[in-house]
Every structure is written in structure tokens, then in C-alpha cells.
Structure 1
Amino acid sequence: MSKSRNNFDNIAREHSVLLNEYGRVQSRCSELVARQVDQIEILQAELTHMRAEMMRLHATVMVRDTALAYAREDLRNLQATILGLPTRVTLARRVESLTQHVQALLRERLGLHVKVQSASTVDGVASVCAEMPMDLREKSVLCVGQDEPATIVAQQAIEKAGGHFLHHDGHDGVDEAALEASLKMADMVICQTGCVSHDAYWRVQDHCKRTGKKCVLVEQTQTLHFVRTRDTII
């Protein structure tokens, strides 16, 4: 009797354990099912939204295609009513091409004009340097002007004659102190009147007038030429 009782108790405990485990499994399955239901609902909502968006885009494309078809039809009708339209379009394109060609020629002409002016400036300064005294040893010659080729020619001629070359751009917004210092250091001044600012030009004239220094003015009109050389600027 006691043995049967023990067997019954063991079976009851095992049954209780199985029931508890079954409950946990059932609860877990319920949670998984609930999650899947939520995911399915989310996917269904997204699918519904995508279908609605696809329908909207399809309608937009249809409207666009319809408008494009009408526009093409209107264009064909307009072209049919305007006589000589293809010829006019061709002429307009030809005019545009010719305009661009003319602009290119004008730019090329401007570039050639600048080159000619630069070459003339070099010739003018070279003429001035040729008339300078050959013996410039221990003398400083100041060249005022922005023309680089002419400045190089002047520098070569002055240094070849044994002089000391000085240079100042003489541009707008000139450094008054630097120009005045260069003028004081110079024994002779070459001023490119067509390549300096008005302020620098008058400062050169005033300094040479006050100090009696020799000043050579080089002026550029059609071609740059030597204007005058004198001991004092009046």
C-alpha cells in the first residue's frame, strides 16, 4: 500500500511539472503569435500605402503623358500654321554662330592691339635708352611705368651702360613714400607717361622740377615715341 502511494505521488509531481512546462510553452507560443500578428499588420499597412502611392504615381504619369501628347500636337499645329519656320530657325542659329565668330575676331583683334602697343612701348623706351649717355657708372636711373617689356629693355640698357636700375610701377593708389624715395635715389628718371597714374606723373614732374634732375618722358599715342629730354621739367 505504501509503495502504491509513493508511485502515485511521483506521478502527481511529474504531472504537475509537465503542466507547468506546458503552460510556459503555451505562453511563449502566444507571445510569438502576437508578435507575428503585429508584424503582419504592419506589413499589410505598408503594402496598402505602397499600393496607394503606386496608383498616385501611375495617375501622375498618365497626366504627364497626356499633357505631353497635347503639347506635341499643339507644336505640330503651330509649325504647320507658320510658313518658313524651319528656315527661320536655321537662320537664327546661323546668326548666333556668326555673332560668336565676330566676338572671337574682336577678342583676337584686341589681343593683337595689346601686343602691338607693348611692342611699340619697347621700341620707344629703346629709343630713349639709345639717346642716354653711355657712361652711367655710379648713377641711378629710375624707370616709372607698368609696361614690363619696356622696363626690361630699359634695365638692360642702363645696366649695360654701367648704371644702377631702379623701377616703380606708378599705378593708381601709388605708395607716395616709396615713389618719393625712389626719386630721391635716382640721378635720372624715365617716365612712361602712358603707363602711369596721373598722381605718379605729376609727382615725377614736381620732383624733377624742384631738384633739376634730368627727366625723359615717353608718350604713347599711335606708337610710342620719344617726346623730349631735358635737364629740368618746367
Structure 2
Amino acid sequence: MCDISATGTQAFNCFKGKRKLWELSAKLLCPVIGTCLTTSEIRKLAEKIVDKEQARKSDYWLHTWIVSNCDVKHHLSLTVQKHLDKKFTAAIKRFGLIKCRDELKPVWQQHIDRGSSAEALWALLTHPLCDLTIEDMAYETIHMLSHQIGAGQRADLKRLHTVEKELLELKKSSDKSQQKSHQTISSKEWQLDDLQQQLADIKADNLQLKEHCQRLERQGNNNAAALELKQLQNKVASQNTSLEILDKQKLQWQQKLQHSKDNILGLTQKLQLQRQESRSLEGLVKQSLSPCNRCSAASCTDCPDLKGLKILCVGGQPRMTEQYRELVSRCNGEFSHHDGGVEDRSKRLDAMLWSADAVICASDCISHDAYYRLKRFCKQHNKRHLYIPSSGISSFAKAMDDVANEISCVNL
């Protein structure tokens, strides 16, 4: 695996083929297992290799168990090796094209920049050209990423508290607005009833006046009758003017009433969306702080089960990618990301859309070309897709709930 030079410095032999899991140094096993395998994958391996009882133990126990048993070649380490090779086949092929050691670092950095740390770590460490210097570089990068993810989870909790506070304030504001709107509607409905009664009275008076005018016309055209007829005609004209004014007022009140109802409906929908996002984010943060133990996807109400679906996120803020990946992995899904045409080539989007089971589009940070390309593709091929209005973690958590519940083509 490696040779000792004349100076006593250990250097890897670059011509002995792809390295295996048990051939890695001891300090690398922990970050490799922790980064490249999800908790659900470790539980499935434990259930397959040992028994269901062992698979029900805590996440930390399972992590420690698999790390401590992969430093030598046996059934467990061979199974993990086979699983990781299959899981990261595409990355291994990309790194396999590299024939010069100096090309490893730029390709590694490209994967890290777009949030593909797990596949890059496995493909790099098992590459025949990987030496101690590159190993240390990868170890340091993954170590710092783990700190950043932990900080991101604390930020999620802080955001959850902020969202809950905003939700409470929005609910109070909505309740006040609804109460005020209901009062306004009641008042306007009463005024409309009063106007309608006035209209009915005026129409009845007009009918009586017309009948009286007709009687006067039949009686003769004497001066007294003509004067009374003229007065009645003026009164009818005045009543008609009042009727037109009341009709206009009625129309204005009806428009104001409809506007108030539309405002109430909009506030109700906004409050409902805030509640759904808050519940989704609360469940995921609660699960990250106290991971589910001895539960199944059917019984766990905090964690939406994606059932191994491949989730493609298009657009969004780059700094949120690792948090998206962590949430999808936590919910038993596979995550991939396209930045929406900022740096990733737009033609690459079609290939990623083909391989995805569901697509989540963060519409606040995406190019027009990528947005319409995604929309057109998903409609033509009946691909499940959802749009979220922002890159916030709560909107993404709500979208994962909708994917797990088979809700698609939604504009959040």
C-alpha cells in the first residue's frame, strides 16, 4: 500500500490500484463513516449483518461500532466498501479519469464548493494517487464542515424561535384584522339592507306617482290638474335621481365588502402557510436536537419519510446547500443540487432533472432560463415539482413535507 523512502518519510505508492476502506488510516475512518453514510444506512447495514436488536441501538453506538470494525478486512468492512462504491459510482468515475496528482485538489474543491462533500471524500481517499498531504487536506476540510453544519443547526433553532414569534404576532394581527373585518362586514351588510329597503320604498312611491299621473291625464288638461301633474313629474324625477345615487352607493358598498372578504382570505392563507412552515421546521429541528431512536417512518410524526426519493434542489442560496442536504438525508432521501444557472451549466440541468424523483425550485435565486427550463421539463414529463418563494430553511422543510405527502406542482 505504501513505501518508506530513504529519509523515513511515508509516501503512498500510486500504482497499486484503488484503496479499500480497511486500508485507510485510523483517523480517517470516523469522518468517512460519519460523512459518507447516513444513520438510516448504518441501521440497515447493522440489521443485515448482525440483527434487528443491534440496529435499534443509539446513533452514536452504531457509529462507534461500525468505525471500530472497519479497520480490518472482514464481512462488515467488505459490505460497507461495496455499498459506498455503489452509492458514489459517478464520483469515482470522475476522479478515476485523473492521472496526475496535481489535478486531484482542484476537482476536490469543485465538489466541496457545490456541496458534494460525501461523494468527493470517498472518491478522493480511495484514489490511487491520494497521498498523506492530500489526506490531511481532506481531513481538515471535512472536520471544519462538521463544525459549520453544527453551527447551522443552532442557527436553524434560532430561526425556528424567530418564526414562532413572527407566527404568534401574525396570528394576533390576523385575529384583530378578522375581528375588525367581520365588524365592518356586519355594518356594511346592515347598510346594504337599509339601502335595499329604501330602494324598495322609492320604487313603490314611483309606481304610485306614475299611476296618479296617468289618472290626472285621463281626467282632463285643466290648469289645476296640469300644475299638480307637473309637480308630480318633478317629484318622480327627484326620486329617480335619488334612486340612481342609492344604486351607486350600493355598488360601492358591495365592492368594499368584497375587498374586505378578499383581505380576510389572503390573511388566512398566509397564516396557514406560516403555520405549516413552522410545523415542518419545528419537527426537523426537534429531530436534529434529539434524533429519533427506535422508531419507524410510519410511526414518527416529526420526520417526513422520503423513502429513498432522489430530491433535486434548483436555485437557492449556496450557503444553504449543506443544510438542505442534511435535512434530505435525515428524512431518508438522496440530495442533489443545481445552482440555477449561476455557475452550473444550464444544459447540465436536463440530465439532473431526468434522474430526480422530485424537484424543489427556490424561485428567489434562479436564472430565468433555468426557471422556465425546469417548468417546461417537469410539465412535459409529468415530473413532481414544487416552487418555494425563498431559500429559507422553513420553506424547504415545508416542501419536503409536501414531497413526502405526494403533493406536487405547488407554488408555496
- Fold agreement, TM-score > 0.5: no
Higher strand share: 1
Structure with the greater alpha carbon radius of gyration = 1
TM-score, normalising length from structure 1? 0.39
TM-score, normalising length from structure 2? 0.23
